[in-house]
């Protein structure tokens, strides 16, 4: 993974302590928070939309690489905001391959004990025990919704209906024409009309990624291509 610019590079491992210590590259802006923000000098920093879109595009590229660059598809299984680091240039770095698995050649899915993070986990995997490449697509879609809303992927305070999960929360608002309530209010005041079009296109894409049935979701390469198209929408 260290050959790709959107993964946190592992430099080595030190065994001179009671537990092995992994040495990674220094991502100067640190790790993202549950709400898709970062800490700067102990204070929450609100990322502008262009940076959020850049992060989404780069993570999509990273996951596409996992799914397509090797003879066996690699499923990350834990794509979420708190596994994304940002370097000094705001380049996104996906990390934490603890739950990653490979799908055997010639197979489209693998049965494995459920592991994941609430709000990001594929409901098909949760109910059937089968992991597919679309499991990562769902997790990515939830992650993109976190960037858009500035809200955590799982929030017990959103207990009404299906709103406890970010996908259900956004779907309900967007379906009722409430895009303004979807967009992070800390970001909304600074976006242009063109960026608003980008945000809405990203909402539509993210909800496609979070469809209940995995066969209704796009592949990651399609997601990555669509994000590149969205980025070109006039500001």
Contact (Cβ atoms closer than 8 angstroms) between residue 52 and residue 101: no
Each residue's pLDDT tens digit, 17-46: 999 998 999 999 999 999 999 988 888 899
- The helix or strand, by DSSP H or E, that contains position 73, with its residue range, turns out to be strand 73-75
Each residue's pLDDT tens digit, 77-134: 999 999 999 999 999 999 999 999 999 988 999 999 999 899 999 999 999 999 999 9
* Spatial distance between the Cα atoms of 114 and 136, rounded to a whole number of angstroms: 14
Q: What is the pLDDT of residue 219?
A: 97
Which domains does the chain show, CATH number per domain? 10-231 (1.10.510.10)
Nearest to 79 by CA among 50, 53, 59: 59
């Amino acid at each position: 993974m260290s050959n790709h610019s959107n993964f946190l590079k592992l430099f080595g491992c030190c065994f001179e302590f009671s537990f092995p210590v992994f040495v990674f590259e220094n991502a100067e802006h640190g790790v993202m928070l549950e709400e898709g923000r970062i800490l700067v000098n102990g204070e929450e920093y609100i990322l502008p939309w262009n940076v959020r879109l850049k992060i989404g595009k780069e993570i999509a590229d990273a996951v596409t690489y996992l799914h397509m660059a090797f003879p066996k598809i690699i499923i990350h299984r834990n794509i979420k905001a708190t596994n994304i680091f940002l370097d000094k240039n705001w380049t996104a770095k996906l990390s934490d391959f603890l739950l990653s698995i490979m799908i055997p050649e010639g197979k489209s899915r693998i049965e494995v004990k459920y592991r994941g993070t609430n709000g990001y986990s594929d409901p098909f995997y949760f109910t059937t025990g089968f992991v597919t490449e679309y499991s990562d697509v769902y997790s990515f879609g939830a992650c993109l919704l976190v960037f858009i809303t500035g809200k955590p992927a799982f929030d017990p305070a959103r207990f009404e209906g299906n709103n406890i999960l970010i996908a259900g929360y956004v779907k309900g608002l967007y379906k009722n024409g409430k895009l303004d309530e979807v967009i992070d209010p800390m970001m909304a005041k600074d976006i242009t009309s063109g960026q608003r079009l980008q945000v809405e296109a990203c909402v539509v894409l993210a909800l496609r990624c979070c469809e209940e049935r995995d066969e209704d979701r796009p592949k990651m390469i399609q997601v990555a291509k669509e994000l590149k198209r969205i980025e070109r929408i006039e500001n």
